[in-house]
């Protein structure tokens, strides 16, 4: 799990006004909504969406917000799936970390001597800040444990700053080898069938692990964080754990780049008029007006990862935005931002910023030229079909 830290961070003097502003946006009576690594990974997949960045940074309950706006999203895990996943994870950790170490050594073809001992330190502490401090101490103790001693940290707490806000992350486990290498472990309830798993689910798990490794990199020395995540899943249709080491270097670089590009929350909040709040207890009309004050970057992919996706899709459709067609189509259309502009350009009309389909240098816009060529081919094809059928009916 991931928790926005409600306590003042070390830079309290500089961040206190921001924390106060975010509390006002959330609604003073509502505590910050805990995030999880899945939501944080989804945030990095759409870094241009200022709306999600601000709502997540302020700890707004987007599920309740979507419900108040009249556009609830079918998110959440069934109780059966939750119970099954919890039971599987308990089985993975049941033997004091020895099985995790064995699976990691087998998955990575580790040739070091057999473990002399496996330590599982107690990470109990008060609150996310206390647990993060206890995790840091446990990592230091693991580094000093000596040859042949492996350490397994079950549900440690890590800290990462995202868009100028401190976030605490809780991976399923960390394994520290005798040489100090730290490997993130993701325990998932989806199966590995005949050595293969659902690529989409594996990709989501790797993105989450990439976020954890970024948090680990801050206090760790270079090379101390493994380039793989140990993915532990049920084998075939049983409840027996099996593991695979999945390379996360590409995903880690992508997540690092996207997190760096995220607009600072203070900059987004400063653009809002005074008094704007996303308090979910407000009437739906007031909430819709407040949400509309923050620009969104909708894409069909949002439907799988954001609670506000249905609300943003409806607004994008009403405005005729080309983003409803997908990022690939949006990229091909260049500066044509609405469906009305696309249709006008395709049929020879003028559109804002394009005149008669030419750019500022007098050359035809490539997107406009392609649209007109496609419209011409379509007209020719329809004419040929009508002629073959004996004329228009």
DSSP letters spanning 57-96: HHT--HHHHHHHTT-----S--HHHHHHHHHHHHHHTTTT
For 143, the token pair is: 């580094």
Measured in degrees and rounded to the nearest 5, phi and psi for residue 46 equal -135, 65
The average pLDDT across 36-47 equals: 74
Strands 149-154 vs 182-187: parallel, antiparallel or unpaired = unpaired
CA angle 172, 128, 177 (to 5 degrees): 40
User: 246-252: which pairs have CB atoms within 8 A and are 24 or more residues apart?
Assistant: 246/202, 246/205, 246/206, 246/209, 248/206, 248/209, 248/210, 248/213, 251/203, 251/206, 251/207, 251/209, 251/210, 252/210, 252/213, 252/214, 252/227
Task: Tell me the C-alpha to C-alpha distance, in Å, between residue 231 and each of 86, 139, 169, 255, 269.
Answer: 16, 21, 18, 18, 38
- pTM here is 0.69
* pLDDT tens, position by position, 296-330: 989 888 887 889 999 999 999 999 998 888 888 88
* pLDDT tens, position by position, 243-302: 999 999 998 988 888 777 666 778 888 899 988 999 999 999 999 999 999 999 898 888
* pLDDT tens, position by position, 82-133: 777 788 888 888 888 999 999 999 999 998 899 999 999 999 999 888 999 9
Residue pair 165/4 in contact by the 8 Å Cβ criterion: yes
* pLDDT tens, position by position, 329-369: 888 888 888 888 888 888 876 555 555 554 444 456 788 88
- Cα 351 vs. chain centroid, distance in angstroms? 36
39-51 in b/e form (b: 16+ CB < 10 A) is bbbbbbbbbebbb
Helix ranges, 271-365 (H): 284-291, 309-319, 327-332, 339-346
Q: Specify the pLDDT at position 349.
A: 65
């Amino acid at each position: 799990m991931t928790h926005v830290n409600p306590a003042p961070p070390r830079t309290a003097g500089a961040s206190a006004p921001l924390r106060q502003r975010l509390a006002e946006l959330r609604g003073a009576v509502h505590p910050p909504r805990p995030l999880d690594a899945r939501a944080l990974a989804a945030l990095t997949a759409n870094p241009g969406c200022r709306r999600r960045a601000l709502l997540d940074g302020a700890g707004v309950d987007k599920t309740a917000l979507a419900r108040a706006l009249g556009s609830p999203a079918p998110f959440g895990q069934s109780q059966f799936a939750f119970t099954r996943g919890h039971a599987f994870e308990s089985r993975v950790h049941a033997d004091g970390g020895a099985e995790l170490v064995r699976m990691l050594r087998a998955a990575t073809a580790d040739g070091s001597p057999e473990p002399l001992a496996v330590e599982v330190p107690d990470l109990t502490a008060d609150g996310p800040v206390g647990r993060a401090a206890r995790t840091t101490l446990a990592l230091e103790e693991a580094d000093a444990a000596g040859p042949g001693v492996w350490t397994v940290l079950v549900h440690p707490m890590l800290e990462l700053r995202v868009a100028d806000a401190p976030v605490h992350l809780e991976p399923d486990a960390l394994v520290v080898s005798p040489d100090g290498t730290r490997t993130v472990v993701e325990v998932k309830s989806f199966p590995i069938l005949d050595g293969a798993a659902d690529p989409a689910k594996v990709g989501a798990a790797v993105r989450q692990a990439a976020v954890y490794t970024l948090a680990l990199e801050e206090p760790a020395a270079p090379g101390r964080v493994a380039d793989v995540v140990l993915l532990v899943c049920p084998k075939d249709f049983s409840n027996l754990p099996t593991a695979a080491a999945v390379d996360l270097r590409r995903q880690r670089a992508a997540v690092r780049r996207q997190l760096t590009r995220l607009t600072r929350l203070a900059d987004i909040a400063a653009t809002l008029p005074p008094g704007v709040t996303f308090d979910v207890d407000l009437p739906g009309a007031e909430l819709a007006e407040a949400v509309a004050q923050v620009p969104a970057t909708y894409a069909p992919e949002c439907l799988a990862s954001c609670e506000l996706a249905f609300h943003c899709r409806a607004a994008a459709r009403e405005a005729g935005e080309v983003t409803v067609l997908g990022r690939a189509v949006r990229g091909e259309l260049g500066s044509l931002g609405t469906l009305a502009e696309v249709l006008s350009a395709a049929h020879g009309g003028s559109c804002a910023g394009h005149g008669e389909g030419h750019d500022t240098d007098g050359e035809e816009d490539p997107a406009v030229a392609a649209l007109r060529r496609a419209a011409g081919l379509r007209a020719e094809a329809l004419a040929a079909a009508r002629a073959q059928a004996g004329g228009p009916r």
